[in-house]
Structures are given as C-alpha cells and as structure tokens.
Copies of this chain bind each other. A is one copy, B any other.
Amino acid sequence: MTDQVLAHALDRQRHLVDALKALAACPSVGADPAMAQGMEDARRIIEARLDAMGFKDRQRLTPATRTGQPAIFAQRQDAPGKPTILVYAHYDVQPPDPMDEWQSPAFEPEERDGRIYGRGVSDDKGPMLIALEALAAFVAVEGKLPVNVKLLIEGEEETGSPSLPGILDRHRALLAADAVLSADGARWRPDLLAVNVGSRGNAGFEIRVRTAGPDLHSGRYGGIVANPLHVLSTLVAGLHHPDGRIAAAGFYDGVAEPTAAERDGLDAIPFSDPGFFTPLSAQPHGEAGYSTLERLWMRPTLDVNGMWGGYTGAGSKTVIPHEAFAKLTMRLVPGQDPEAAKQAVIAHLEALLPAHATLEVSGDTGATGAYTLPPDHPLLAAAIAALRHTTGQTPLRVRIGASLPLTEIVDRVLGLDTVMFSFALSDENFHAPNEFFRVSSIAEGLAAWVQILRQIALSQVADFAPYRRA
C-alpha cells in the first residue's frame, strides 16, 4: 500500500532542493555580527514556510541579551491525546573561512554530481527542510499531523547555544512536550544504518599570552626578551603527554574506562582505520591504548582550534610580537563535569606559564556535558522502528564524537530526552570548506521522517511519562 503522504513528499523533492538553495544562500553566520542580515533573511524564509504549512502561534523566542539570536517557534496541536514532540533544528551556520578553499562560493549554493555545495547545507539547513517538508506532506495530504508537533528552530547552535537554556526556562509552558526529536546531529557513515544514542560535551575558551608592552624588533631585542609565540607554543605542546593523554591534572576525573561489554559493542561495528582515514589524507592519531571508536566516543579531547600572533601577512616582518592568542575547546564524555574539566586545563596552563609571561583567559564558549539517551526510550524505539521499516535493516546504536548542546540543555532545563534524527552524513565537510549535502539523502530522510511520525502516533503520552524528569 502506497503511503500517500510519502508519495506527496517525494514528488516535491525538487522543490526541497530549490528551497535549500534559497535558504543556504543566506549567510547566517551567527558568530559574525557583520552577517546579521543573513541571519534575518534565513529566519524570514523559514517563517514564511511555517505559515504556509498552517503552523500556529509562530513567534520569535528572543534571548535575554540584545546580541543573541532568536529561536523560531510554531506549533500544530492536531492530535488530542497523542504525544507532543518538540522538533528541533538550527538556522545558523559555521563561518565559511578559509574562503579561498571553496570550489564554489560558500553562499552561492551549487549542485554538482548529486550534491549541493554551500555553507550550512548539511549542518543543518538540508536536514531541517527534510523534517519540515515531511510535516508539510502530512498537512497537504491528510490535513493534519498524526502527533502534536512544536517546532523550535535555533539561531545559536554553532556558537554553543548560549541563550537556549534561558529561552527554554522562560517558555516552559509553550514548549511543554513529551520528548525532543532533532533534525540536527548527522548520521555517522553513508554505509552504515545507525541511530545516535549519545554525544560528547564540550567547553572552550580563548587565551592570550603577553610578554611585553609593545611589539619589538627581532634584531634589536632578539635574544634578550621572551617571545610570546614561543611561550604559547610551549603551553600548547604541554597540553598532551607524548602518548596523546591530556596532561592537565584532574581532567579525566569521573571518566570511566570502557567496559568489556562496551568494547564488544564497538567491535561489532564495521570500521576500518584505513577506510576511514585514507580519504582524509590523514593518519589515525590519538591517545595510546584506545581504538579509533573508543577515542571518538568514549575519551575526552583537547584541541586548539585557532592560534595566531605576530606577522601573518605576505612577505616577512622581523618582529617579536608582544602577545599571542589561541582558541581552545575540549570534548567531554559521561562522568566529566564540564566546568571542572575546563578549570583543570586553565590551571594546567597557568602551571606551565613561565614567570616572564602573563596569561589571560577569556571568550568562554559555555560548557556542555555529555549526553546519553536511555536505551529503552519510546522515541528511540520509534526511530529504530521507522528506520527498520524504510530500510529493512536494524540500525546499530552508535554515539557521536561531537557535542549537541541541545541534548544536555533539554535534559537539564526541561527534563526531556532527545533523539537525533538528522539525515546529514558525517563526511559532508560541515565546519570546513566545500560543505555539501547529498541529494540522495532527501528521499531517505523524507521516508524516515514520515515513518517516525507514524510510529510516534502509535504510542501514548503515558509511554513517555517515566522518562520525563520535570
């Protein structure tokens, strides 16, 4: 029996591609105040689509700070007695630089070889539109949704969702739901059917090392003053032991070693280092004594994401700078307290700092704990059933090395669990040049979203009650 809703959605795939191109043409870089218009343009496109889909109560949930980005809310209460699902996505994107490494301009989406290229197409505009168009197909064919749906489309995901806890807290009644279904989060691999059951947390900050008042001439002062780039390099080189273990005392507090059962579970996942790393022109590298999947899902990390100081333009300049900078982030696993982990790293840097330099810490990017989904959660069961229905296969349960502040924030503020149900794939260069989204993911995603909504409609509000903690 043909699913008329799905047939309608599939018929309109080209419309979805066009809509994605229009949305991805908006430079909605939330981190960059110069791109405020791109954020506004993206909001307006989404809002117009929600209105056309008959969503009600559309409104912008604004952050308490004037500089934050509003989240878009709308709802349809079409299914009295059925569960209410809060569907999450985000409209902000990563900064596009380095610009010169894009084969087509970051904000001029281009379709090539079955892929749409552009900043944000995979993270998270393509997956967002799949969710919205699956919902639209129900409205178009059946006149209503099979469950109650509230939409929350955030504008600060790429900057760590600093305003989201406050927005959730101030709008508890409006956002009341039984569980959260996220269109963000990305499938792990094209060749592996899987559902995510957990994510790493994160925390970050920026440091500035100073050694003098002014920049100094490297001839007239070379050899007699400290160079902050040397000091900063010593700090960064001292973050890890030679075996890849993070050197900050207390950083691993609360981190459990993988159990034998967990190792067995990882071993069951088809994975080969060469198959994974060769396409990246990279080699496996990390903490000694752990496999790649253990490193990625069960071990915390500490990375410098950017570092700079002195003369970085064309040609040479014989300067000893007086300051140098680095941006650091860490990925955290269950058991770690994000704030304690961050303080451990800061204390370690201060201990490494020589007497002839000063260290300032700023630019706190927030701290998010790791998240684990209860293994028997009804929304997880619906996701697994939907994927089994649309693919004929049982998905593996996997974790994600990245952070989804959403899951931790929703858990902490609303006491709800989140199922990640994105149809992005993890090789699609998000956070890098030449981000792309596979056109083939659209049909897969529409089918899965139509089916998961039907699966949820088979459950009752009471099924979710044991998992609601607020």
Flag whether A327 is at the interface (Cβ < 8 A).
yes
Given the known interface contacts A223-B331, A233-B233, A236-B230, the answer about A306 and B311 at a Cβ–Cβ threshold of 8 Å is yes
Given A160-B316, A223-B401, A295-B224, A433-B215 contact (CB < 8 Å): yes
| Interface flags, A324-347, vs B, CB<8A=1, else 0 | 111101010000000000000000
List residues 411-454 of chain A with CB under 8 A from any CB of chain B. Answer: 426, 429-434
Interface size class of A (residues with CB under 8 A): 35 or more
B residues near A321, Cβ cutoff 8 Å:
305-306
Within the complex, the shortest CB–CB distance from A216 to chain B, in Å, comes to 6
A33 contacts partner chain B, Cβ-Cβ < 8 Å = yes
Task: Flag if A317 contacts B431 (CB, 8 Å).
Answer: yes
Interface assignment of A470: CB less than 8 Å from any CB of chain B: no
Complex CA gap A206/B159 in Å reads: 33
Nearest B residue (CB) for A276? B224
Decide: B365 and A32 in contact? CB cutoff 8 A: no
Bound CA–CA A235/B303 (angstroms): 17
Q: Which of B206, B281, B292, B317 is close to A212, meaning CB atoms less than 8 Å apart?
A: B281
Report the 10 A-B pairs with minimum CB-CB distance, sorted nearest first: A219-B402, A31-B315, A213-B281, A233-B236, A306-B310, A212-B282, A237-B237, A215-B432, A223-B301, A306-B311
Interface residues of A (CB under 8 A from B): 30-33, 94-95, 97-98, 101, 158-160, 186, 199-200, 202, 204, 206, 211-227, 229-230, 232-240, 277, 279-287, 292, 295-296, 299-301, 303-322, 324-327, 329, 331, 355-356, 363, 365, 400-403, 426, 429-434
